[in-house]
Amino acid sequence: MSMNLPRIRVRVLWAVFACVYFFSALWTAGAVYYLRLPDALRIPAVLFFIIFAAAACFFRKKYLLPASLGLMLILLIQFLLRAPSNDRDWNPSCARPPYAEFLTHDQVRIHDIRDFRYRTETDFDIRYLDQKYDIPAIRHMDYMVVHWDGMEAIAHSMLSFEFKDGRHLAFSVETRTDKKDEFGALPGLYKQFELIFIAGTEEDLIGLRTNYRHEDVYLYRTTLTAKDAQTLFRSLLARMNRLREQPEFYNTITRNCLTSLIPSVKELNPSFIGDLRLLFNGYSDRRAFESGTLETEKNESFKSLKQRSHINPKVDRLPAIPPDFSERIRK
């Protein structure tokens, strides 16, 4: 029995190596596809790599496996060295990243607030605003979850801040795509898109989704104190300004519309620990409900809260976005 232990260990080690090799090769195949090669070369390059990686496993040639691992290492280094940029031919929706100019410690002017006026999802007038805000005037923060195509597990997350003068300013963390890009979850794993923090009016960021994309939008009032909401607002402005000077890549898992907000959340709660539901951000509202972050009625269930937080029926049948849009979605 003891004589068989070394053999068993060797087999276990080879099994572990085979699993690591397989998933490394799988990831590398994607990296090859997204090397920004000419379209005609992408599929042949991926097929060549797959055949080469498979041959390294099945044919016992001394040079094949080291060569395959070396190629994976080269592609990994190339991936790690790829740098994000602010200088591309951007799509109109993300062409002008907003930035904050602090006039005093508590007063800020935000430039390039998006305020597009839509006729359809793809037909719109490009408008940007510069507005001044008193940060101590922030009263509340609302959290939004946006579902599309009936998918429960996947969603888009947004925040909106309410000021004492009745104004609202929404934030949406999105992919910054150029005119050649087409968004997808898989390319989002391979540094194909940059990241942008969009500051916009609710008529734009929410109205686009309720009235023109016809996505399901749920708006929740949070239990954050005014002071905490102000702290979070400052953190978002700092991140927004930093991205304008130091661009970052979007990542489908680690740096998306929800996970990009975690550093700001940790400024409020350093002990914050995420769970697997952060990978499926469609469940983020349930997690917030369970942690007491969402305002509820007495003994209210999450199902009831989500049902009454659905804002589409309040506005999506209107012929245009009304001036009192922010009031309507909160009635």
Per-residue pLDDT tens over the stretch 280-307: 889 999 999 999 999 999 999 999 999 9
Q: Distance between CA atoms of 101 and 108, rounded to whole angstroms?
A: 6
**25 near 46, Cβ under 8 Å?**
no
119-150 pLDDT, tens digit per residue, is: 999 999 999 999 999 999 999 999 999 999 88
Domain regions of the chain by residue span: 2-81, 92-328
196-216 pLDDT, tens digit per residue, is: 999 999 999 999 999 999 999
Does the pLDDT of residue 265 top 90, yes or no? no
Q: Distance between CA atoms of 11 and 19, rounded to whole angstroms?
A: 12
215-259 pLDDT, tens digit per residue, is: 999 999 999 999 999 999 999 999 999 999 999 999 999 999 999
pLDDT score of 103: 98
Element (H, E) at 129: strand 128-134
pLDDT score of 5: 61
Categorize the per-residue pLDDT at 58 as very low, low, confident or very high, splitting at 50, 70 and 90: confident
Q: Compute φ and ψ for 7, nearest 5 degrees.
A: -65, -40
| % of the chain exceeding 90 in pLDDT | 81
pLDDT score of 1: 47
Q: Distance between CA atoms of 219 and 212, rounded to whole angstroms?
A: 17
Q: Quick count: other Cβ atoms within 10 Å of Cβ 190?
A: 19
